[in-house]
């Protein structure tokens, strides 16, 4: 008999030019390919995307429009299962429509009798208790549920989902490799390169002003250069240019902005070329950890703190109380202790990278060993 072929729908926040979420997709696709080859099953992913043409071109997969119900219905009806994730799909911090959308996709698949897999999701914040019962009900029908941090598992427990049904795994991006030849590493650079990932958050831009002040301090006290890395286009590029403007023209010759880096592995190479990184975007920090680049977090969301907790770290500052001095002091501390940081964090980072493909391993095993698994 030949290798079984399984069509699997992948649902997430894809096609929106967000490097972090695109990295999640790339990591899932690579993990499915690798684990499928290991366990003797060939996966044919079909990605739900807001820009299916671009998604298909970028990743070499089938893709349908996530908001066209007829296309989604036909894709699910012809599929062998659904992956929901990863990323922060089930949260109502940014609006009330997000959770109903992703749960509707899960419910539709379950109504069609398709197995549904929760893939390394970050759950919450969920402020409306109305959603608790919905999430619990749909998750109870999944063969397995994997989340990316203990806090997500604890929240599902408060929703009434049995802890035995939930596994904590790393964010899938921890396992994403560089492609092609390794990038030029920071070890041979003449000047330290500080990667900077910022986004708009506070209406008064106080968080970006604090970062600008911290970066001015670093440039005044060291020979470092700044490399802005916009993760979500075009908004993060505008935020980067705002910080650059706040720093003043005197520093322009030591500042650059990465232009139109859209493929996640290209952005990963950018991060790998940095000496250290200051990040607001979660996946900028995850990229840095995966490439052993020391990082400084500025938290705007609990998911930042939850990831840093896994590395026994804390954010240097937050958007609630932006502190330029705290950011600059942490940057200077890391610049003076790069090797010590790497030595201390390497065991944890290597473990997380090794565990990142666990959900794909479970999915492959589900299809090769039968559906009688609990």
What would the pLDDT profile of 146-165 be if each residue is shown by its tens digit?
999 999 999 999 999 999 99
Tens digit of pLDDT for each residue in 6-19? 999 999 999 999 99
The confidence score (pLDDT) of residue 369 equals 84
**Taking 80 as the threshold, does the pLDDT of residue 355 lie above it?**
yes
For residue 368, what are the contacts with CB-CB under 8 A and spacing of at least 6? 4, 39, 40, 41
The confidence score (pLDDT) of residue 146 equals 98
Mean pLDDT of the chain: 94
Tens digit of pLDDT for each residue in 100-143? 999 999 999 999 999 999 999 999 999 999 999 999 999 999 99
Indicate the pLDDT class of residue 184, thresholds 50, 70 and 90: very low
The confidence score (pLDDT) of residue 265 equals 94
Can you tell me which residue has the tokens 């559906």?
371
The confidence score (pLDDT) of residue 373 equals 42
Average pLDDT over residues 259-267: 93
The confidence score (pLDDT) of residue 374 equals 39
Indicate the pLDDT class of residue 93, thresholds 50, 70 and 90: confident
Tens digit of pLDDT for each residue in 17-70? 999 999 999 999 999 999 999 999 999 999 999 999 999 999 999 999 999 999
**Taking 60 as the threshold, does the pLDDT of residue 354 lie above it?**
yes
Instruction: Walk me through the domains of the chain, giving residue ranges and CATH numbers.
Output: 5-169+356-369 (3.40.50.2000), 186-352 (3.40.50.2000)
């Amino acid at each position: 008999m030949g290798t079984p072929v399984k069509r699997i729908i992948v649902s997430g926040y894809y096609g929106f030019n967000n490097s972090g979420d695109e990295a999640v997709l790339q990591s899932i696709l690579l993990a499915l390919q690798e684990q499928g080859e290991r366990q003797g099953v060939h996966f044919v992913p079909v990605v739900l995307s807001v820009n299916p043409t671009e998604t298909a071109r970028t990743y070499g997969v089938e893709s349908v429009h996530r908001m066209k119900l007829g296309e989604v219905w036909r894709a699910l009806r012809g599929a062998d299962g659904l992956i929901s994730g990863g990323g922060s799909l089930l949260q109502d911090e940014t609006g009330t429509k997000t959770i109903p959308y992703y749960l509707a996709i899960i419910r539709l698949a379950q109504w069609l009798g398709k197995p549904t897999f929760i893939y390394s999701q970050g759950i919450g914040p969920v402020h409306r208790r109305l959603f608790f019962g919905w999430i619990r009900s749909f998750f109870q029908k999944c063969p397995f549920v994997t989340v990316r941090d203990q806090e997500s598992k604890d929240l599902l427990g408060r929703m009434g989902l049995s802890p035995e049904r939930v596994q904590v795994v790393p964010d899938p991006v921890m396992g994403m490799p560089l492609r092609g030849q390794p990038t030029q590493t920071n070890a041979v650079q003449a000047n330290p390169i500080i990667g900077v990932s910022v986004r708009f958050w506070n209406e008064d831009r106080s968080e970006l002003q604090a970062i600008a002040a911290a970066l001015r301090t670093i440039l005044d006290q060291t020979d470092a250069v700044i490399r802005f890395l916009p993760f979500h286009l075009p908004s993060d590029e505008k935020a980067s240019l705002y910080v650059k403007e706040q720093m003043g023209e005197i520093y322009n010759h030591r500042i650059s902005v990465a232009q139109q880096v859209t493929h996640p592995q290209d952005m990963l190479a950018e991060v790998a070329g940095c000496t250290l990184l200051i990040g607001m975007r979660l996946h900028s920090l995850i990229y840095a950890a995966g490439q052993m680049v020391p990082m400084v977090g500025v938290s705007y969301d609990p998911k930042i703190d939850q990831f840093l907790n896994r590395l026994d770290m804390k954010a240097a500052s937050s958007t609630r109380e932006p502190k330029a001095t705290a950011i600059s002091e942490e940057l200077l501390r890391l610049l003076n202790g790069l090797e010590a940081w790497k030595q201390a964090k390497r065991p944890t980072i290597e473990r997380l990278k090794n565990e990142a493909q666990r959900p794909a391993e479970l999915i492959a095993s589900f299809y090769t060993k039968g559906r009688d698994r609990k």
